[in-house]
Structure 1
Amino acid sequence: MGKVTAQTRLANQLLLEAIKNPKNLPVLSLADWELLIRMGRRTRLLGRLEADLSRIGLLAEIPSRAADHLRAARNVIDHRNTLVKWEINRILWALNGTEAPIILLKGAAYVQANLPPAHGRIFADVDLLRPEERIEEIEEKLSLRGWLKMQIDPYDDRYYRVWMHEIPPLRHRERGTEIDIHHRILPRTSRLNSDPALLFEAARPLEDSRLHVLAPADMVLHALVHLFLECDPREGLRLRDLLDVHLLFQHYGQEQSFWDGLTPRAYKLGLERPLFYGLRFALRFFDTPIPQTVRSEIKNAGPRWPMLWLMDHLVALAILPGHPDYPYPWATLARHLLYLRAHWLKMPPLMLARHLLYKAYLRSRGVRGKVDLAKLDLRQQ
């Protein structure tokens, strides 16, 4: 266990140092580059390394084989971003004539608004936010234009529509691209009670006035909700999502008005605890420049000891990838505990117990949650 711990620590330090100080990457040995490439691929951060090295003019200074991997990652990202932009174009075409604006979330918002997290970052789906009373309208219009309702278990369909903050994903019959349509950023059953109307009121238009993005503080808070409440038991918390938050802090934090309004906005939306953790871990892992006044304002939003001590350890274990050749058992445990914590915050205890037991029952019976649309006769849909 001692060797595993040491290798885990060294590997994590290598990755974090590469992200924080890309100017030092040309001095890495070939062995370090081999490990960094593997970890970057595992965390989907190879594109970020390429973007940073290209920005400071050092891509040609690293070993050519390493540069080839980074350029390949950039090519994939460029392709995906093109797909995202085209999908947004097609969504606007399909929804032509609807009154309510389309609010882009997460990756689609970063790409369309050309924000720092979009540079070197790969995004899979297009996430939209629409008023709940307009969800049926948008779902119908998109279905008529080629986006099919996912074939999922009836329980999962009800789970989405009755309890969650979004409807089941829609997938285009030809392109295979998916759209996630949200009407709020937290499940209806969540312990964190946040009024979605506040997000719509503050949303900001893009160059195309039909498209909006969340206000800066709201965008950061939504990114933190996604980070801490969408935990995956296999992947854990996503380092790239925390990096997005760090980059947004750096970008919007150039204006003092952003910092002045951030904590009050978090309290107004009922998201002060995610902000507490976001500031704490952005500072811890990326040395994010956060004003002392903001840290003081949010201090009381944190949990008491020993919960804070426990979260410090669990997040560090779950968010960092570790050495790919030396699996760390404690990291696996941390990911599962944070996954349970995320579900605990999403729904009341009895509902949570029933949900987890039913999903475990389905897995034991080999029941899939989704049906592969590629194997369906789409002409019958």
Structure 2
Amino acid sequence: MSDVRALICGLLARPQETVGRLSLAEWEAVIPAARATRLLPRVGLCLQEAGCLEAVPAGPRRHLDAALLLAARHRIDVLAEVERMLDALAPTGVTPMLLKGAAYAAGGMASADGRLFGDIDLLVPRDRLGEVEQALRAGGWVASHLDPYDFLYYHRWMHQLPPLVHASRESVLDVHHTLSPPVSRLKVDEGMVLAAGRTVLGGRALVPMPADMVLHSAAHLFTDTEFPNGLRDLSDMDRLMRSFGHDPAWWELLALRARHLGLSVPLLMAFGHCRRLFGTPVPEYVVARTAKDAGRRRRTVTDVLFDHALRPALPGCRTAFSGSAETLLLLRGHLLRMPPALLVPHLARKGLRSVTGWLRPEPPGRTA
């Protein structure tokens, strides 16, 4: 059996070359793996754009057709929910900046095509956070119950509020007030990102400039502690870079924004993984300049760990080192987010809570 991740990447980047080489057994491995990474609709889209969707055998084709319909419906629903969120915020006068999937959809980016995502991410000024939270609660979005420690964790140390879930529609909002945790080693000037944003949806919202979309996605992926959608995020960056990379000045801008925002390291990592997996046509001089700004080699042990971790979480897709790589990257992500003086007590408290919950007896009459 071929490397399933390589087959998915080939269908995304080289659909005409790849589709005819897949056996039915390989399709049976690709479909669930692409679904697990939320890339199944995009695989169908890339085959459709290349005019070779008809070459897919009937069984896998039904899954791809259904995924395309689901993604199209999802995009309509997301934009409708964004409009409802903006209606709720209208009395505050705050113009939020949409991030990631919602920004791609509202901004008409190629990275929105065939994309599935669960949460609507938005960035608002920190000094207006109270008003925004109150307006969203009035609009039906509420946070789950938090104990005093969790409330403190989110409001003092994290860059976002606890997820807000709509009481009836169950849509989830992630409200950010900065682009990186205030106590993290990675500092991103959200003011620069907001100042360079453009208005969408009749001027009611902002989206980052395309270069900043790439940088935010790279920063999020390569400092995160969870990786199930990592391959999808790399595909987002690949599509963004292909969409705008025909202009040499855009590459210059991307490298310059990375330097000014302190994101040259995650951008360099994004270049390496996107080039290797998708053949993203990043100019060599841009890679060299970004490596110089990052002050590091192009490929490091961390890149090797991500290579093992960024795989579909299904048997046959992961390597013998994937689990160990995820554990090490989990620790790295926590150390980037919080200094040891805060992280050690935080992890100890969370661990104690888990043990306490495990030891707590089940209520009488409860069945598994």
- TM-score relative to the length of structure 1: 0.88
Greater mean alpha carbon deviation, residues 146-155 or residues 36-45: 146-155
Higher RCO, 1 vs 2 (CA within 8 Å, ≥6 residues apart): 1
Alignment of 1:1-381 (within 5 A): 10-23=3-16, 24-232=18-226, 235=227, 238-302=230-294, 304=296, 308-321=299-312, 324-325=315-316, 328-366=319-357
2:92/2:135 contact within 8 Å kept = no
Cα deviation per residue 1:10-37 (whole Å; 9 max; x = unaligned)?
A: 3333222222211131442111111111
Q: Helix, strand or coil: the match of 1:97?
A: helix
Q: Which 10-residue stretch deviates more, 252-261 or 138-147? A: 252-261
- Return the letter of the residue paired with 1:296: A
| Aligned-residue offset at 1:284 | 1.6
How far did residue 236 of structure 1 move? 5.4
Q: CA deviation at 1:300?
A: 2.2
Is contact 2:31–2:60 with CA below 8 Å preserved after alignment? yes
Residue identity (%): 37
CA contact (8 A) 1:224 1:274 kept: yes
Contact 2:228 2:313 in 1 (8 A): no
The answer to whether the 8 Å contact 1:30/1:63 transfers is yes
How far is 1:365 from its partner?
1.9
Instruction: Give the gaps of 5 or more residues in structure 2.
Output: 359-368
TM-score (norm 2): 0.91
Give me the whole-angstrom Cα distance separating, in 2, the residues matched to 1:164 and 1:54. 41
Say if 1:237 and 1:70 are closer, same or farther in 2 by CA, change over 3 A: closer
| Distance of 1:262 and 1:176 partners within structure 2 | 36
Q: Deviations over 1:160-203 (max 9, x none)?
A: 10001111111111101111111111000110122221111111
Question: CA RMSD of the aligned region, Å?
Answer: 2.0
- The alpha carbon displacement at 1:78 in A equals 2.3
Letter in 1 for 2:15: P
1:237–1:302 distance in 2 versus 1, CA, 3 Å = farther
For the 8 Å contact 2:185–2:338, the answer to whether it is kept is yes
Greater mean alpha carbon deviation, residues 135-144 or residues 308-317: 308-317
Structure 1 window deviating more from structure 2 (161-170 vs 253-262): it is 253-262
Shift of 1:145: 1.6
Q: 1:303 to 1:38 in 2, by over 3 A?
A: farther
The more displaced of 137-146 and 15-24 is: 15-24
Whether the 8 Å CA contact 1:39–1:324 is kept in 2: the answer is: no
Shift of 1:43: 1.6
SS in 2 for 1:313: helix
Shift in alpha-carbon separation, 1:154–1:81, aligned structure 2, 3 A: farther
Q: CA deviation at 1:321?
A: 2.8
